[in-house]
Structure 1
Amino acid sequence: MLGVVMAGGVIGVALRELLLLPFVTGAPDSLALTIATAGVNVIGSFALGVVVGLLRDRHPLARGFLGTGVLGGFTTYSAFAVQTAVLLGSAPLAGIALGVLSVLLGLAAAALGVRMTGGRRGTEPDTEASSGAAA
């Protein structure tokens, strides 16, 4: 499993860097890069919601590769934390807005991904509903 996750991580990190490269202007705390990083994290949260919704407790290798590997490498909490901390120092209201919006949009995107793929809470299938039995 470790090799599968590592292979996915290499792909995810490479995808993130390809997307963020146009926003790197020499300053690691540029506003454009900060916003682009937040966008990548929201997209990754949605994609992880889709993976979880589709795979749930099935296909552990695919979940490890796509979820932990690719999407774990694609998203970046550490860059988000540092960029938000830097922004809090220079523009506190913008830093607060970025932090709150990033978390809320990430949660909403993940929930949307799960919902769009029919994912539900729990791991047991609803056998009564699928068999047509009345409660």
Structure 2
Amino acid sequence: MLREHGDLLAPIAAGGALGSLSRWGLTTVLPHGGLSWPWATFLTNVSGCLLLGTLMAFVLGPWSHTRYLRPFLGVGVLGGYTTFSTYELETYVLGGHAPALAMLYLLASVVAGIGAAWLGLTLGRVVVLDTGREVVVDGIDPDLDPDPSPGQAQEDR
């Protein structure tokens, strides 16, 4: 596997460094006191979900033939930018002192993250479609037929 994909390590590492520095910058601007809402992590993860959704619209559309863009931006930059471990730790710490706030943070992060990913994908698809490109996976436009039968997908090709 390393022989086939070894060339992707440098773009992923470079992207991860940039994403991690971006997250560090946001936590510096919005420091967290421990017993209050962890805004930096919340905003980091939600904005990362939005950007990842947008990126997927382009990776499935006009940028589908680029080898290094998705590993650099998706795995590297956004993987280094978002943080599940800090989200878990902050939920745990809040749970010891403010269980209701911890539960709200836990749920709000998941709901906002999923909503942001959906919004990013939707907005990205609008932009891609406005350029005249289609967002197509395996010859199937997900907007027209989100769950095609296997035989139908073959007939359409």
- Normalised to the residue count of structure 2, the TM-score between the two structures is 0.72
Q: Quick check: 1:80 aligned with 2:82?
A: no
Which residue in 1 is equivalent to 2:54?
A: 50
- Give the aligned CA root-mean-square deviation in angstroms: 2.4
Counterpart contact for 2:49–2:113, Cα < 8 Å: yes
Following the alignment from structure 1 to structure 2, what is the Cα–Cα distance between the partners of residues 49 and 58?
A: 18
Larger relative helix fraction: 1
Which residue in 2 is equivalent to 1:132?
A: none
Query: Percent identity of the aligned residues?
Result: 31
Aligned length in residues? 126
Q: Quick check: 1:18 aligned with 2:25?
A: yes
Which residue in 2 is equivalent to 1:68?
A: 75
Following the alignment from structure 2 to structure 1, what is the Cα–Cα distance between the partners of residues 98 and 70?
A: 39
Which structure has more relative contact order (CA 8 Å, sep 6+)? It is 1
Following the alignment from structure 2 to structure 1, what is the Cα–Cα distance between the partners of residues 91 and 67?
A: 34
The correspondence for 2:117, drawn from 99, 110, 119, is 110
Q: Quick check: 1:124 aligned with 2:129?
A: no
One-letter amino acid of the counterpart of residue 36, structure 2: L
Structure 2, unaligned stretches of length 5 or more? 1-7, 129-133, 145-155
One-letter amino acid of the counterpart of residue 54, structure 1: F
Which residue in 1 is equivalent to 2:43?
A: 39
